[in-house]
Amino acid sequence: MSATRGILASNGLHLWCVVNNAASLVFADAEWQTMAMAERQLAVNVLGPLAVTKAFLPLLRESKGRIVNMIRWSSSIYYEFKYGRRKYFL
């Protein structure tokens, strides 16, 4: 974040928007997934956007910028529970 702040400041720029669009999908039934697979999906799809948002929030506040969280339209469909629910957290 400090590198981003330096680049923006040296060029007279501001951070106006952060788009959280990371996604990880393991296409397998829950009984076939290992805990490591599920944890990775959770880390990328839920904790990743949270970490990015927290890191850049000070810069966004300075510029009154925005956060855009991309989610799947199918987040509420049972078939995509493992992936969709993790994206639905956003």
Is residue 4 in a domain?
no
Q: Provide the residue range defining the domain that includes 21.
A: 16-88
pTM above 0.75, yes or no: no
Is residue 33 in a domain?
yes
What would the pLDDT profile of 24-36 be if each residue is shown by its tens digit?
A: 877 777 788 889 9
What would the pLDDT profile of 10-24 be if each residue is shown by its tens digit?
A: 999 999 999 999 888
Is residue 7 in a domain?
no
**Total count of domains within the chain:** 1
pLDDT higher than threshold 70 for residue 81 = no
Average pLDDT of span 47-54 = 93
Q: Are 38 and 82 in contact (CB under 8 A)?
A: yes
Is residue 71 in a domain?
yes
Is residue 6 in a domain?
no
Is residue 9 in a domain?
no
